Chain A
Amino acid sequence: MKTAQVIMDTGAHAAALAVKSARVDVVPGYPITPQTSIMEALAAMVENGELHARFIPVEGEHSSMAAAVAASAAGARVFTATSANGLLYMHEVLHMASGGRLPVVMCNVNRGIFAPWTLWADHQDSMAQRDTGWIQYHCSSNQEVFNTILQAFRVAEQINIPVMVNFDGFAISHCLMPLTLPSQEDIDRFLPPYEPEWRLDPAHPSSFSNVTNAPEYAPFRQMLSDDIMASIPLVKQAAQEYKDITGMWDGDTIDTYRLEDAEVVAFAINSMGAELRLSIDILRQQGIKAGLLRPRLYLPFPAEDIITALPQNAQVMVLDRNYNFGHPGGILASELKSVLFGRRNDITVKNRVMGIGGIDLTRQFMAAEIRAMMDE
């Protein structure tokens, strides 16, 4: 491990620094709050020569992802970022990225979606992309954003599946926190240059994502489904090797806190996971054996790790920052129940939706919510 540098930085700028140190080639970008500051930082880095890449100031997010997938097919390492409606606008092209097996990495700075307008965080935007075939991480700190982007490139390029790195708007994107920057030498050791197995090349004329008949189409889709599941060991390996090289650890597929002997388990993602550690401490002080299980990987859903990690007879309090419209409660709870069914009948799952459109989720509030849920 080489000497690391510690600075104070926002989550958005930490993301830009990670992208720079990943030595990306192409960055298409379009402004949307609260993601904009990532694009501003990258545009400046390209302009002043700090980052040898092309910044393409596209005219909308649909084009942002369309430029990203095409640049990736040409053999480039590609990054872009978006939020909320920008992510929804990309939806069609997200499918092309995964179906085309193009290892684009994108940050989604979580924000509630229109209508009505809101600027602040919830997870409806990325949850609405659940079935696009992307791998999704959710980060709980600025440092984790930095670390995860580098891990995301590695996983994406190993298995040719695009990766979305999510983190909450403002709570992470705009707040200053200490940030440890590993040396570029260490990062280069962790993330080798991108060498695609295939690219658009006039020396090898071939069609890409052309029309298929069912006998060709179905295996493509099956392969994508299988490979998303097969990314779990790669996610673990990336986290472990990143730790070996940089000394930093945010968890792999999941992150836990005081979980081993817990009777009450908070289950949540993203920035809530950081604040919930403090809620757990509050509950412990009140004599409640509380713990935290935070899926760092939302997709593929780390079922086996969750099943293994949950203590016997635990009550799991799922705190969803999204709605599962057409069902009561949120999407995480639904995912968790489907995983536990028939495997862990000892577990009780309770669920509340909170923090929608940026409603502040304090340690006290969440501790009180968990207490109230215990009495339900």
Chain B
Amino acid sequence: MATSIKKLPDIEQVLSGNGACGGCPATMGLRIVGKALGSNAIMLLTPSCSVASMGMTPRLGYNWPCINITFASAGSSASGITHALEVMQEKGRLHGELPTVFAWVGDGGTYDIGFQALSGAAERNDNIIFFCYNNEAYSNTGVQRSGATPRGSFTTTTPTGKRQPKKNMALLMLEHNIPYVATATVAYPGDLYDKVVKAKNIPGMKYIEIQAPCYLGWQFDMPETVQMSRMAVRSGAWLLWEAENGKISFNNPSSLIISGKKDAAPVDEYLMKQGRFNRLLKGPDAESRIAEIQGDIDREIAFIRERAKITI
């Protein structure tokens, strides 16, 4: 059982009064992450909503030392910091428990422009936690498509709906043979918290992806962020899982869907709640395009179900 939301520590690393939109899932996710990591950490950010909301220099809405770096570089810059800290400790210039080095990056900085540096850091198994908060578009620049944008979604650069499926970044990271990979979402804060606590105590590369429904980009009502996140999981459009040393285990309620104990909710209801899909659903070819989206979800479920059987 995941830790109850009532039992999460009182510590707040996300300070009140920052510049995020109401109902911002990235901020919610970061708040939970802060409770798990505590204050002994160094944060890296690339251009994204979480930079836009952290406050302008010299103000800072996060209670960590925060370094903004070039968009493509979260993985390699995090490597630089973790190696620097470790070697300075070896040489006697730093004492005590070393800070956790973590990157907090949007899906653009993970799936697209930051992919190479992330892949390099993962292949070297450098001691960092890389968080992707995935709102499935470049929300900070006004909602353009990214590699994480699902098929059918309208963005300002896919005005008739995206024609390609998203890539499965978490699985790609799993195949880098790193010690820990997990997916999470803001509707299950205890699950997210537990995964971050686990990652913090594992040496080497950790990748945690947090699905982050953005009311602005996805076009739903601001108070429904958490509800949207829950619907994504219940429909199987987002799966909760973690993998320690390559062995996948599923978390509730995704585990029930994977094992067949419970049917996923039809995707229609989840899609209809979101303006980014419902324009497509009003078109003449709505039926076939919904079937495509459902097909993408079914394929991902089938794939990971089989992948999870590999336990060597």
Q: Given A25-B84, A59-B117, A70 and B69 touching (CB < 8 A)?
A: yes
Q: Cα distance A204–B67 when bound, in Å? A: 13
Residues from chain B with a CB closer than 8 A to the CB of A76 are: 83-84, 87-88
Q: Which of B3-11, B25-33, B39-47, B205-213 contacts A (4 or more CB under 8 A)?
A: B39-47
B56 contacts the other chain (Cβ, under 8 Å)?
yes
Contact across chains for B76 and A66 when beta carbons are under 8 A apart: yes
How many A-B pairs have beta carbons closer than 8 Å: the answer is: 170
B-side interface residues, number (CB < 8 Å): 50
B249 contacts the other chain (Cβ, under 8 Å)?
no
Q: Given A26-B87, A69-B80, A207-B60, A200 and B119 touching (CB < 8 A)?
A: no
A20 contacts the other chain (Cβ, under 8 Å)?
no
Contact across chains for B87 and A52 when beta carbons are under 8 A apart: yes
Contact across chains for B80 and A211 when beta carbons are under 8 A apart: no
- List CB contacts (< 8 Å) of A13-55 with chain B: 25-26, 28, 52-54
Contact across chains for B44 and A70 when beta carbons are under 8 A apart: yes
Q: Cα distance A68–B93 when bound, in Å? A: 19
Contact across chains for A71 and B81 when beta carbons are under 8 A apart: yes
A209 contacts the other chain (Cβ, under 8 Å)?
yes
A210 contacts the other chain (Cβ, under 8 Å)?
yes
A57 contacts the other chain (Cβ, under 8 Å)?
yes
Size class of the contact patch on chain A: 35 or more
Residues from chain A with a CB closer than 8 A to the CB of B284 are: none
Chain A, 204-218, contact with B by CB distance < 8 Å: what is the 0/1 string?
111111111100100
Q: Is the interface of B mostly helix, strand, loop or mixed?
A: mixed
Residues from chain A with a CB closer than 8 A to the CB of B41 are: 202
Q: Cα distance A92–B76 when bound, in Å? A: 14
- List CB contacts (< 8 Å) of A62-82 with chain B: 62-64, 66-76, 78
Contact across chains for A75 and B60 when beta carbons are under 8 A apart: no
Contact across chains for A68 and B80 when beta carbons are under 8 A apart: yes
Residues from chain B with a CB closer than 8 A to the CB of A25 are: 84, 87-88, 91
A302 contacts the other chain (Cβ, under 8 Å)?
no
Contact across chains for B116 and A59 when beta carbons are under 8 A apart: yes
Contact across chains for B76 and A210 when beta carbons are under 8 A apart: no
Chain B, 252-268, contact with A by CB distance < 8 Å: what is the 0/1 string?
00000000000000000
CB-CB nearest 3 A-B residue pairs: A59-B120, A63-B76, A66-B73
> Could you give 16 example pairs across A and B, Cβ below 8 Å?
A26-B87, A59-B123, A70-B67, A70-B77, A71-B81, A72-B80, A76-B84, A93-B70, A205-B65, A206-B65, A207-B58, A208-B65, A209-B69, A210-B66, A212-B57, A213-B57
